[in-house]
Amino acid sequence: MKSALPKQFLLLDGRPLLMHTIERFSTFDSSITIIVVLPAEYHALWQRLCDDHAFAVSHRIVAGGEERFHSVRAGLACVAEDQIHATSDDSGADAGTPGVEEAGPVAAGDGAGTGMSGGEGTRPVTAGDTLRTDSATVTDDILIAIHDGVRPLVSHDTIWRCFADAEEFGNAVPFIEPADSVRVLQGDDSRPLPRNEVRLIQTPQVFRGSVIMKAYRRNFNPAFTDDATVAEADGVKIHLTHGNRENLKITTPEDLAVAATLYGMIRQ
């Protein structure tokens, strides 16, 4: 995307993409705590945009890292701190629900986000460099959903399936099936790959808190293209679940034009 601004700040229907993404989670469940991971140099700009658009969905802002991997770790560290404070808060205050200027879903790297939800009766939370060694003991019963901030058209059905399947299987990674033929490059040659053996992966990717916290304690590897590959490197078996085709990741001007058309259709 040839733009001076990061993609998550580009406008869809007159508002930044990231605002639409955050709202998909807040309208799915208003009790979700949202942590937005953004490069530190864009925090002031984001605050101005929130003021200009009267954006009042509660969310916390966390400084991102060099790679998406490091940004997600930063969000997870924030979640761990929230959980530790919540369990040690004798006053009974809700330590996981910060003020509007501090709280909300998590965007990591190019606008990806981390969301966290508990099991039945547990309040959902969203988040995205260091993790507390005692975090597993306070995150066993929560589900963390990591979502790209530039996927503003994720459906409530997809979010629900991801949380429900992660509750049952320990994790859930949404996918869609490719509509086009697929070929694999092999040097200067290529060979066809059966389309029914390929899945296109989306977000939110949802995991049990203790599992994804442990996986993200490992060192960065360029082979980590998403959270599923990080968890898989830690021995986690990935469970796939259905996503929604409109849940495209906006990376090009053409993607933005398609999203604008889809957004208009979805609102009708």
User: Is 104 contained in some domain?
Assistant: yes
Q: Which residue has the tokens 């709280």?
A: 103
Reported as a pLDDT band with limits 50, 70 and 90, residue 86 is low
Average pLDDT over residues 40-66: 95
Average pLDDT over residues 113-122: 39
Measure the CA–CA gap between 204 and 172, rounded to whole angstroms.
8
- Token pair of 107 as six digits: 């965007």
pLDDT at position 87 is: 64
Q: Is the pLDDT reported for residue 258 higher than 70?
A: yes
pLDDT at position 83 is: 75
pLDDT at position 125 is: 42
pLDDT at position 237 is: 98
Least confident of 28-32, 170-174, 187-191: 28-32
User: Is 143 contained in some domain?
Assistant: yes
In order, the DSSP letters of 39-100 are -GGGHHHHHHHHHHTT-----EEEE--SSHHHHHHHHHHHHHHHHHHHHH-TT---TT---T
Question: How confident is the model over 29-51, as pLDDT tens digits?
Answer: 988 889 999 999 999 999 999 99
Q: Is the pLDDT reported for residue 176 higher than 50?
A: yes
User: Is 187 contained in some domain?
Assistant: no
Q: Is the pLDDT reported for residue 153 higher than 60?
A: yes
- Token pair of 128 as six digits: 């995205």
CB atoms within 10 A of CB 4: 5
User: Is 154 contained in some domain?
Assistant: yes
pLDDT at position 94 is: 40
With pLDDT > 70 as the criterion, what percentage of the chain qualifies? 77
Q: Is the pLDDT reported for residue 105 higher than 70?
A: no
pLDDT at position 102 is: 30
User: Is 2 contained in some domain?
Assistant: no
pLDDT at position 138 is: 52
pLDDT at position 139 is: 56
CATH number for the domain harbouring residue 13: 3.90.550.10
pLDDT at position 88 is: 63
User: Is 123 contained in some domain?
Assistant: yes
Measure the CA–CA gap between 75 and 72, rounded to whole angstroms.
5
Host domain of residue 74 = 7-170+201-236+245-267
Three-state DSSP at 3 gives coil
Q: How many structural domains are present in the chain?
A: 1
Reported as a pLDDT band with limits 50, 70 and 90, residue 172 is very high
User: Is 186 contained in some domain?
Assistant: no
Reported as a pLDDT band with limits 50, 70 and 90, residue 141 is confident
CB atoms within 10 A of CB 178: 13
User: What's the whole-number average pLDDT of the chain?
Assistant: 83
What's the sign of the alpha-carbon dihedral 50, 56, 62, 66?
A: negative
User: Is 188 contained in some domain?
Assistant: no
Average pLDDT over residues 60-76: 93
Q: Is the pLDDT reported for residue 115 higher than 80?
A: no
In order, the DSSP letters of 170-226 are SEEEEEE--SS-EEEEETTEEEEE-GGG--EE-S-EEEEHHHHHHHTTSPP-TT--S
